[in-house]
Amino acid sequence: MKKIITLKVNNKEYEVAVAPNRTLTQVLREDLNLPGTKCGCDMGDCGACTVILDDRPVNSCLVLAVQAHNREITTIEGVADGPNLHPIQQAFVEHGAVQCGFCTPGMVLSAKSLLEKNMDPTEHEIREALSGNLCRCTGYQKIVEAVKSASQTMKK
């Protein structure tokens, strides 16, 4: 039996009928046509599906869509302000923090969540905040540099 739920995604309300076993990843990607959220493992191991749920980064593959009923969700599609990139996104572009890009949406959201709570993180704090987001391409260095640089930009 499908349930009607309300999802508040990127400041927009959606009313959707979902089967109770569908994950937030599936509903975002397939029902709301927001495929920026990636599915890398479907087990909560890789972090590619990270979204911000009520101010906390979560693996959306481990959240049932019905659990997100009436809650605030930020996906990668909601990070930029129209054509203007968020400072984290801008820093990712400039620092070469993107290779294949499959981990990038999750990385950006984990970083955003960190910088919203901690304006001036140390390198270790950045690495800790990103440690649930796997990247096989970059060795993380340029991602960490980008987040550090974004934190400086955002302080200004």
| Positions that interact with other proteins (CB under 8 A) | 29, 34-46, 48, 75-77, 79-80, 85, 89, 92-96, 98-105, 108, 126-128, 130-144
Q: Which is nearer to other proteins, 7 or 38 (CB)?
A: 38
Q: Which is nearer to other proteins, 70 or 127 (CB)?
A: 127
E strand segments, 19-131: 50-53, 56-59, 72-74
CB of 79 to other proteins, least distance (A): 7
CB of 97 to other proteins, least distance (A): 8
CB of 49 to other proteins, least distance (A): 11
Q: Which is nearer to other proteins, 70 or 102 (CB)?
A: 102
Beta strands at 72-74 and 3-9: parallel, antiparallel or unpaired: parallel
Token digits for 100? 């294949």
Query: How far is Cα 47 from Cα 40, in angstroms, rounded to an integer?
Result: 8
Q: Which is nearer to other proteins, 38 or 66 (CB)?
A: 38
CB of 2 to other proteins, least distance (A): 13
CB of 119 to other proteins, least distance (A): 20
> Around Cβ 12, how many Cβ atoms within 10 Å?
10
Q: Which long-range contacts (CB under 8 A, 24 or more apart) does 78-87 make?
A: 78/9, 78/10, 78/11, 79/108, 79/109, 79/112, 86/112, 87/150, 87/153, 87/154
> Around Cβ 82, how many Cβ atoms within 10 Å?
5
Q: Which is nearer to other proteins, 55 or 139 (CB)?
A: 139
Using an 8 Å Cβ cutoff, are 79 and 89 in contact? yes
